[in-house]
Homo-oligomer: A and B are copies of this chain.
């Protein structure tokens, strides 16, 4: 099966991190198709950027959806996820969604640990969007600057582990998610220093996408995720316009 790994950030180096983390757990027959956002910001970190990045994700899916069996929107926060699920026929998985649902099977409450304070509000709204507030023990954010987004996981490894430990001790988290695309792959490296299961967001998303493909769910033709009826558009990129117009 072919799985689109869609990075809605414009940073290629993050896509590389994501691919490596996905490949580490992929099943033999799975081919990962990576894609980096052609426009937007280096890494999404606010509601405004998520609004834009989600629209860009829809444009990217419109161009590439026919080549794959499923897609992963690989930014924690899941920009554009619900719209994508409406508009396209194959399964689409959000990286935050997959990480949180997987974490639910490993504990009563999960903690989200991330590398920048700015990400907290967006992540909190993402938890709410998925109706998982009751399963979330809290969000811990690093409160320091960093040198380079592509290397933030090495630079801040020690303090991120420290935050995870506090989430376990003080927030009573049963499980930890290291969140934010730039942290993809970090879980494997630090898991043995954290006394509860650590979920790698990208690994979880890859396995969930594989699971959905294997289960072969049909595209809804009723309910709130059926494809909307064709509608005229103006000024949208060609592939997206065609998809919305039903061409």
Determine the distance from Cα of A50 to Cα of B225 in the docked complex, in whole angstroms. Answer: 14
Contact between B41 and A244, CB atoms less than 8 A apart = yes
Determine the distance from Cα of A84 to Cα of B106 in the docked complex, in whole angstroms. Answer: 12
Contact between A42 and B231, CB atoms less than 8 A apart = yes
Smallest CB gap from A236: residue in B: B39
Contact between A234 and B98, CB atoms less than 8 A apart = no
Contact between B121 and A131, CB atoms less than 8 A apart = no
Interface size on A, as a range, is 35 or more
Smallest CB gap from A176: residue in B: B223
The stretch from A152-160, A178-186, A214-222 touching chain B is A214-222
Determine the distance from Cα of A52 to Cα of B179 in the docked complex, in whole angstroms. Answer: 25
A228 within 8 A of B: yes
Contact between B25 and A83, CB atoms less than 8 A apart = no
A5 within 8 A of B: no
Shortest Cβ distance from residue A73 to the other chain B in the assembled complex, whole angstroms: 11
Task: Specify which of A27, A223, A226 lies most central, judged by the most chain B CB atoms within 10 Å of its CB.
Answer: A223
Contact between A199 and B228, CB atoms less than 8 A apart = no
Contact between A51 and B40, CB atoms less than 8 A apart = no
List, in ascending order, chain B residues with CB within 8 A of A231's CB: 41-42, 45, 49
Determine the distance from Cα of A195 to Cα of B225 in the docked complex, in whole angstroms. Answer: 11
Determine the distance from Cα of A150 to Cα of B106 in the docked complex, in whole angstroms. Answer: 32
Map CB proximity to B onto A130-167 as digits: 1 under 8 Å, 0 otherwise.
11101100000000000000000000000000000000
List, in ascending order, chain B residues with CB within 8 A of A199's CB: 215, 217
List, in ascending order, chain B residues with CB within 8 A of A31's CB: none
Shortest Cβ distance from residue A172 to the other chain B in the assembled complex, whole angstroms: 7
Beyond known contacts A47-B86, A48-B87: 14 more, CB 8 A cutoff? A40-B234, A41-B231, A52-B58, A98-B105, A108-B121, A118-B228, A120-B172, A168-B223, A169-B222, A196-B220, A196-B223, A197-B220, A207-B211, A211-B211
